[in-house]
Amino acid sequence: MEESDESIATLIAAHRQGPGALLPVLHAIQDEIGYIPADSVKEIAKALNLSSAEVHGVITFYHYFRSEPSASPRVEICCAESCQSMGSEKLLAHAKSVCDVHPVYCLGLCAASPAAMIDGKPYARLTPDKFDRILEKIAS
């Protein structure tokens, strides 16, 4: 925990400059640690001269920020219209039966629906079979 505190302080210091620094600070922390620990809110607020409520409000407003570590691998499946038209509901149901899934709304891969992002890597034209093979490959 000590180490993590230190790295959060370093990250805040590196990104607090410049106008509107809160999102860049939060991104830096999540990119580095994988989430934004609840006990870092006070420190962020102090450094940016904000209230803890403001920082908490921002973290919870945006779907992308999380206060808990994510499951590994992080599976995000697109649930928007284009992917729906190509069977994303079936893919989602299948994925949910094998792992933790986060719905997202559009990855910009719509001409090759259905699409997903797994640990930050894009995949398109997915089927339940193809999805399983990708997870197996990641696990091995």
Partner 1 sequence: MSAVIYVPVDSAALALGADEVASAIVEEAAKRNIPVKLVRNGSRGMFWLEPMVEVQTTEGRMAYGPVSAGDVQGLFDTGFEHGGRHDLCLGLTEELYYLEKQERLTFARVGITDPLSLDDYLGHEGYSGLKNAIAFPSQRIVEEVTESGLRGRGGAAFPTGIKWNTVLNARADQKYVVCNADEGDSGTFADRMLMEGDPYALIEGMTIAALAVGATQGYIYVRSEYPHAIATLNRAIPIARNAGYLGHDILGSGKQFDLEVRKAAGAYVCGEETAMLESLEGRRGIVRAKPPLPALSGLFGKPTAINNVISLATVPVILARGAQFYRDYGMGRSRGTLPFQLAGNIRQGGLIEKAFGVTLREILYDFGGGSASGRPIKAVQVGGPLGSYLPESQWDIAMDYEEYSAIWAVLGHGGIVVHDDMADLARLARYAMDFCAIESCGKCTPCRIGSVRGVEVMDKIIADQERAKQVALLHDLCETMLNGSMCAMGGMTPYPVLSALKHFPRDFGMDDAGDRHA
Contact footprint for partner 1 (CB under 8 A): 18-24, 26-27, 48, 54, 57-58, 61-65, 78, 80-86, 104-113, 115, 117, 120-125
**In whole angstroms, how close is the CB of 3 to partner 1 at the nearest point?**
25
Distance CA 91, CA 95 (A): 6
Closer CB to partner 1, 111 or 139, in the complex: 111
**In whole angstroms, how close is the CB of 2 to partner 1 at the nearest point?**
28
Q: What token pair was written down for 72?
A: 């590994």
Closer CB to partner 1, 7 or 82, in the complex: 82
Closer CB to partner 1, 1 or 120, in the complex: 120
Is residue 43 within 8 Å of residue 4, measured between CB atoms?
no
Closer CB to partner 1, 58 or 99, in the complex: 58
Residue 45's CB is within 10 A of a number of other CB atoms, namely: 17
Distance CA 70, CA 34 (A): 7
Sign of the dihedral defined by the CA atoms of residues 1, 138, 82, 108, in that order? positive
**In whole angstroms, how close is the CB of 98 to partner 1 at the nearest point?**
20
**In whole angstroms, how close is the CB of 117 to partner 1 at the nearest point?**
7
List the one residue out of 19, 60, 67, 21 whose CA is nearest residue 44: 21
Residue type, 138: I
